[in-house]
Amino acid sequence: MEQKTSAPADKSAPAPSGVGTTGHSWDGIEELNNPLPRWWLWSFYACIVWAVGYWFLYPAIPLVSSYTKGLLGWQSRTQIEVDMAELKAMRSGMTTKIEATDLADIEKNPELLSFARAQGSAAFAVNCAPCHGAGAQGFKGYPNLNDDDWIWGGKAEDILTTIKHGVRWEQDSNSRSGVMPAFGRDGLLNRKEIATVADYVMSLSGLAVDKGADLAAGKTLFAANCAACHGDAGKGNQEMGAPNLSDKVWLYGSDKAAIIERITIGGGGVMPAWSNRLDTATMKSLAVYVHTLGGGK
C-alpha cells in the first residue's frame, strides 16, 4: 500500500541545525543536506587509482589454476626466504661460536648458554616434542628428559651422540643399538619364569611384591638371563642401553603387568638420527638444552 507523505519537503527550509534538506522525505523523515567536502571525493578516487596500481604490481586476481603474478614478481615465498637468510646472517656470529665451542664450555659461558638454550628450546619444539612432549616430560616408552635417569648416558656429549645418530635407527650405522630379547615370545622363558623374574625386578627398586613370591628363584633366573646387560644388581648399562632397574623411574610403567610385558616382547624404542636433518649448531644447542633441563649428568 502506497501512502502519500504528509507534507512535501521544502529544500530550503532550515532544519533545527540550520542546514537545508535534500528534499527527500520518507514518512515525513527528511534528510539533511550535509555534503562531503570535495577533497574527500578526490582522496576516494586516489584510493581507487592506488588499488588499480596494486592489482598490476602485486599478485591479485585468482584464475582457474593460477593467479595474476603482478609486475613486481613479489611472492610471500621469496619474502620468507629473504627473511630467513637475514635471520641466519644475524645469528651467524653466535652460531659460529656454538660450533667452535665444547659443550661443557658453552654451559660455562652465560651468553652462549642463553643462546643455545633459546635455540635448543625452539628446535626441540619443532623436532622432538612430538615424541618427548612439549616440556620434554616424555610418555610411556618415550623417556622423560627432565629426570636424572638416562638410558644412553646423561652427559652432554652422550646426549649429542644420541641426537646425531639416533637409537636403533637402521639407516645410521653408528646409531645406538642394543635390543632386549623377547624372552616370552621366543620361548626363552616360560610364563611362570617370567612372572618370577618380574617379582624379583620389582623388589630391586623396593616395590611391593606379591605374597609368596619366590625372590630366590627370581634372582637365579635374573643372573642367568638378565644380568649380562642389566648388571648383577640391576643397575643397568648405558653402553648397551640397558635401563637401571633398581631406581624409581620406569619407562614403560612399574606395575607387574607392564614388567611382564617388557620381558615377554623385549625390544626397545626407536629414535631417528638427526645428523642428516639438522646442522651442527642446532644439534649442539639441543644437547645443551636437554642437558640443562635439570637431569643432565
Place of cell 623374574: 197
CA 147-151-152 angle, to 5 degrees, is 115
The reply on whether position 144 binds other proteins by CB under 8 A is yes
Give the count of beta carbons closer than 10 Å to the beta carbon of residue 220: 14
Among positive and negative, which fits the CA dihedral 90, 96, 102, 108?
Answer: negative
Residue of 244, 259, 271, 274 interacting with other proteins (CB under 8 A): 244
Q: Give min distance, CB of 93 to other proteins, in A.
A: 17
Residue of 16, 40, 48, 140 interacting with other proteins (CB under 8 A): 40
Residue of 101, 137, 220, 237 interacting with other proteins (CB under 8 A): 137
Contact letters for other proteins, residues 259-288 (x by CB under 8 A) = ------------------------------
CA 74-79-80 angle, to 5 degrees, is 150
Q: Applying CB under 8 A, which part among 70-78, 161-169, 220-228, 242-250 lies near other proteins?
A: 242-250
Where does residue 287 rank: exposed (0-12), middle (13-18), buried (19+ CB within 10 A)? buried
Q: Give min distance, CB of 41 to other proteins, in A.
A: 5
Q: From CA 234, how far away is CA 78, in angstroms rounded? A: 57
Count of residues in the chain: 297
The reply on whether position 133 binds other proteins by CB under 8 A is yes
The reply on whether position 43 binds other proteins by CB under 8 A is no
Q: Give min distance, CB of 103 to other proteins, in A.
A: 14
The three cell numbers locating residue 245: 632397574
Q: Applying CB under 8 A, which part among 97-105, 161-169, 213-221, 243-251 lies near other proteins?
A: 243-251
Residues 206-225 that bind other proteins (CB under 8 A): none
Q: Which is nearer to other proteins, 203 or 275 (CB)?
A: 203
Q: From CA 237, how far away is CA 243, in angstroms rounded? A: 7
Contact letters for other proteins, residues 55-94 (x by CB under 8 A) = ----------------------------------------
Q: From CA 53, how far away is CA 76, in angstroms rounded? A: 19
Quick one: which of 268, 259, 265, 256 has its CA closest to 185?
265
The reply on whether position 113 binds other proteins by CB under 8 A is yes
Among positive and negative, which fits the CA dihedral 256, 261, 264, 269?
Answer: negative
Q: Give min distance, CB of 184 to other proteins, in A.
A: 27
The three cell numbers locating residue 194: 617370567
Half-sphere exposure of 172 (CA within 13 A, CB side): 21
Q: Give min distance, CB of 122 to other proteins, in A.
A: 15
Q: Applying CB under 8 A, which part among 61-69, 142-150, 180-188, 278-286 lies near other proteins?
A: 142-150
Rounded to 10 degrees, the C-alpha dihedral 140/143/147/152 comes to: 150
User: What are the residues binding other proteins (CB under 8 A)?
Assistant: 1-5, 8-9, 11, 18, 20, 22-27, 29, 33, 35-41, 107, 110, 113-114, 117, 133-135, 137, 144, 146-149, 244, 247-249, 292-295
